[in-house]
Each structure stands twice: as C-alpha cells, then as structure tokens.
Amino acid sequence: MKLSSNDSCPCGSQKKYKKCCKIFHDKIAFPKTALELMKSRFSAFATSNCDYIISTTHQLNPDFTTDLKSWKNDILDFSKNTIFERLEILDFIDDEIESFVTFKATLFQGKNDISFIEKSRFLKTQGVWKYIDGEFLKEGEK
C-alpha cells in the first residue's frame, strides 16, 4: 500500500500518518511503549516497510534470520498480497521490560478473510522495545 504523509495512519489511531507511526518508521523517535511499537509494526506491514519489521524483531524471535534477503522477500510477499483492513487493541499489559499486547488484525488476501487475534510479547533491551513472539487466541480469550 502506498501511503502519503497526510493519509490516516493504518494503525487505526485516527491521526495522520506523519503525526503517528511515520515518526517511528523514519527513526525520528523510538516507540515509548510496546503498544506504540505494535501499532507501528502493523503500519509497517501495511506499507511494506520490511526494514522496520526486521529492525524491531528480537533476535530470539522464531522468524529471526541473518538471511535478510529471503526474510525481506517473505515480508514483502505477505504485505503486498494482504489488505490491512483494521487493527483493534484488545488488551495491553505494560511493564518495565516485558509487555504484552493482545490485538485483532482484520486482514484479507483476495476474498479470503485471514484475520486473527494474537497476544504478542515484547521485550525492552537497551531502552528499545522489540517484538519477540506471540500466540494466537480465540475470540473472547485474553
């Protein structure tokens, strides 16, 4: 998805992209909370920003690989073939170094609804939040 600075941000904040996740994507600031990071990663997927996804993924994440070329291709493949319809935050457990965000991502690939609910786990290392892993939940779970 091509997005201009004045478009509304894909993360659902109802702010303009330039006043929201773009600040993080452009590395002007780091997300202060795991929630901000989670939203900015959703926006990065929506805008096919594979570099941002990679730079905010913890080294212990199962997808982490030093084969950047194939990793980037996987992200771009997913991003380009997916419509990022909506992000809803269901729960946020905030703490010093380990935080959890439960969200529902409404996504489509063609006519297929591939929406899911995930409880994501984030770790703060050297002052920076990174995504480490997540588990899929059913509707109504937390």
The reply on whether position 46 binds Zn ion by CB under 5 A is: no
The reply on whether position 11 binds Zn ion by CB under 5 A is: yes
- With CB under 5 A as the contact rule, the residue among 1, 7, 8, 13 that binds Zn ion is 13
Residue 95 CB, nearest approach to Zn ion (Å)? 22
Closer to Zn ion by Cβ: residue 103 or 111: 103
What is the spatial distance between Cα 22 and Cα 44, in angstroms, rounded to a whole number? 9
What is the spatial distance between Cα 10 and Cα 39, in angstroms, rounded to a whole number? 9
Query: Is the distance from CB of 109 to CB of 80 less than 8 angstroms?
Result: no
The reply on whether position 101 binds Zn ion by CB under 5 A is: no
Closer to Zn ion by Cβ: residue 13 or 61: 13
- With CB under 5 A as the contact rule, the residue among 3, 9, 46, 87 that binds Zn ion is 9
The reply on whether position 44 binds Zn ion by CB under 5 A is: no
Interface residue list for Zn ion (CB under 5 A) = 9, 11, 13, 20-21, 43
